[in-house]
Chain A
């Protein structure tokens, strides 16, 4: 009985210390020092309207944009998730075949054997903001044809938006699709 009483009292104390005090201190410091990161790296346009998060992917279906990876939740960041297909699941094979087929239709200028696997697979989160640099380069013929922007200029754009490994070691080179398309949009507006 005494143990229960001690547990309840200690729990209340620890709840104050480890949860409220801890969270509020971290939140206070984060909001004061790094408000942009602390709020989720939200991007705004010239009219100060939020247009996305620099860290969260978006769906791109229009052919003049660079496309993101497959997402079963269509980049709905209210949640997150993937279909969790096992390697042996028929539906995974069917979906990938269809994606490859659709790719051939939409990108006659880029052969299938140049299509990197990240573009036809579902990311873990369904919100992956990145594609591989190869995945961006291989889309250039389509975009160039659509927009009339020279392929060389698009390649330069992709190169500018290719982030290297962290500290030169960790992770993989990648291209943030939203940032790339925002820049592309500026070119189109000109």
Chain B
């Protein structure tokens, strides 16, 4: 009986709770190409890092479609790709305009000024546990927190969450390799439809902001009168869709993975409780140890690339296994150890190069506050079930539920 290919075992839902032994196996063939039309799978830290900075690697959705990704081809109709799926110069222009609504130099204080608000949201959610002594961290905390934040930041009404969630879920599902492999025409069509619906919904909000600007990102995107000019309405729509989804889907997993990891390392949890200042180091180490984005599966090479003696031919699809690189013993001492005290915490958790995580400063702040407050307020927290049940998605990997029992709230 032949065993399934390694990369199929990695995407297999059965292995979701602990893919790390498979990643270790993967690193033994750092440039893996198992199936003729399949991707080249890259798993060592330095190789991933160098490809993230390599101008022969394209993120353009059109190149992905040309490389034989049928789903990408189907998605090429409808709303135009966001800057995540574009190359320079278009990527650079759209990301610059988006950034002028988000960070320095135009909005240097936007994130930092939300600190008090983030504390209040976190405090409210924890108070909301009430008399219960067992909670589902995902549904009661890790999901509602970043959703509330991204809604405030963008200017999306929080009460519309059930509405946009119905569009977001099928879109996020298209990122999962196993789901993609089994996708039929109907699935593709409905995902495309969902993206368009979500875009239209956000366009409606942008239109309101054009008439009545508020202190939020949609207002700034609608305005964008900088030297770069404005985005077209279609560009505003695909950017807003990207920001809304990327602005919470990944953070849910970072917070949940974080609490799971802390509960598996009670000594670190105890230290965090005594010293909230440790949260910065903990979050960086988490981004290495349990990154919320495990795989970057959407790159293609536009020229032959030589890597460890293997020629990756022009036009090939490339998967960058961030989570495998993060535990590469060539780069990290004791890579399998969760150690917030390590001397040089670096990671691929936010990617690197021009597509490195746009929302990183927000994700860091949210997770630091979330974990330090959970550590401070939950008395004697413990896992009810280990491992917890996981989501289907292999790319955006994280628990679907995380039951936590505790003795009291502080």
The answer to whether A and B assemble together is: no
A contacts, CB < 8 Å to B: none
B interface list, Cβ under 8 A from A? none
